[in-house]
Structure 1
Amino acid sequence: MKKLLKFTPMFLLLIGLASCSSVRVAADYDREANFDNYKTFAFFKPGIDKAEINDIDKRRILRAIEAELMAKGYTKSENPDMLVSIFTKSNQRVDVYNNAWGNGAWGWGGYGGWGWRSGWNNNQVTTTTEGMLFIDLIDANKKELIWQGSGTGNLNANNPDKKEARIKEFVSQMLVQFPPEEK
């Protein structure tokens, strides 16, 4: 039991670090769609143009999607089976950490004299930008959504190389779930 308690703080730290950098992903799809019929893709320009993200990041996302789909055996085509569109959202995430020590006690309070004194409070507030990326795959003939993936995570990356790596991580983790496995 003592050995377990000895490693618990290290385990909790590793879980905390992993959760800070992770991308949370989800996917949904049309259960009637036959994903074996889709072999080619193209980007759906009208949908991509509406994405509220700068052009540099938009190109990074599209390159990452293209690389992932091609690695899965799909081919980019002028006459595609499937259209790819993206949608983005961002939220300001505010985290408040209250590191209070003790409940307070009676005692000397320095300039305030004798009386009830509260415990040590160390409140910290952090704000980060959390972004969501949606990848929509649309049947090119029917113009119907057949698969949608979403990824949520921290977007702050001031270094262009780190930002590109983060975008690739988003796309890669999202497209792990495409095509959906048959049950």
Structure 2
Amino acid sequence: MNSFKLLVLGVFVLVLSSCSSVRVAADYDKDANFDSYNTFAFFKPGIDKAEINDIDKKRILRAIEAELTAKGFAKSENPNMLVSIFTKTKENVNIYNNNLGYGGWYGWGWQPFYWGTGYNTVSSTTEGTLYIDFIDADRKELVWQGMGSAALVTSNNIERKEERIKEIVKEIIERYPPGSFKN
């Protein structure tokens, strides 16, 4: 029975640790002058296409606005940078197969005869990817894109969900401007 408890604890720790990490990447136009961007506005046509509910869109946009403001940007009616988002989600189903029991060597090779209990543990998580696009407002060209993938909070815990969104947005925007992120 101790092996079972240890296995359950190991799976629990694995699930918790996977929920806390955000995988982040960024790409950019190497010819863009990132020092020239100091004002922003949200690009409504792009944001309207994001396939998430309006409440989560508001949460993401508030988090982006807070992070850009902290970096010295000002929200403006006449911006030099537009901000857009889009999202993707996928369901991950994990099956952990553990056959506890006994087997043995009989004659030539392994004989897969097991006695005892075997069990499968099935878990599923929803992984979301958030893309944040910075677009040169004059040229209407993408100059920077940040991407973050993480396990999403799907429970009814609103505070936890908001904190998770803030964490994902913060880790993405830490990569802006190019060259500013230190590993």
TM above 0.5, yes or no, is yes
Computing the radius of gyration from Cα coordinates, the structure with the larger value is 1
Give the structure 1 partner of residue 169 of structure 2.
Answer: 171
Give the structure 2 partner of residue 4 of structure 1.
Answer: none
Other structure's SS at 1:99 match:
strand
Report the AA paired with residue 61 of structure 1: I
Q: Does residue 85 of the first structure (1) align with residue 84 of the second (2)?
A: yes
Distance 2:15 2:158 in 1: 25
Distance 1:162 1:55 in 2: 18
- Please list the CA deviations of residues 38-67 of structure 1 after superposition, one character each: whole Å capped at 9, or x if unmatched: 010000000000101001000000000000
Distance 1:131 1:65 in 2: 17
Distance 1:102 1:14 in 2: 25
Q: Does residue 131 of the first structure (1) align with residue 128 of the second (2)?
A: yes
Give the structure 1 partner of residue 139 of structure 2.
Answer: 142
Q: Does residue 161 of the first structure (1) align with residue 159 of the second (2)?
A: yes
- What's the CA shift for 1:127? 1.3
Q: How many percent of aligned residue pairs carry the same amino acid?
A: 63
After superposing on structure 2, the runs of 4+ consecutive aligned residues of structure 1 that deviate more than 6 Å are 13-16
Distance 1:34 1:157 in 2: 42
Distance 1:79 1:125 in 2: 51
Report the AA paired with residue 160 of structure 1: I
- What's the CA shift for 1:157? 3.6
Distance 1:123 1:16, change over 3 A: closer
Distance 2:176 2:19 in 1: 25
**TM-score, normalization by structure 1:** 0.81
Distance 1:17 1:162, change over 3 A: closer
- Please list the CA deviations of residues 115-139 of structure 1 after superposition, one character each: whole Å capped at 9, or x if unmatched: x445632211111111111000000
Aligned Cα root-mean-square deviation (Å):
2.2
Aligned length: 162
- What's the CA shift for 1:105? 4.8
Distance 1:118 1:31, change over 3 A: farther
Check whether the contact 1:105–1:119 (CA below 8 A) recurs between aligned residues. Answer: no
Report the AA paired with residue 143 of structure 1: K
Distance 1:133 1:149 in 2: 8
Listed as ranges, the gaps of 5+ residues in structure 2 are 1-11, 106-112
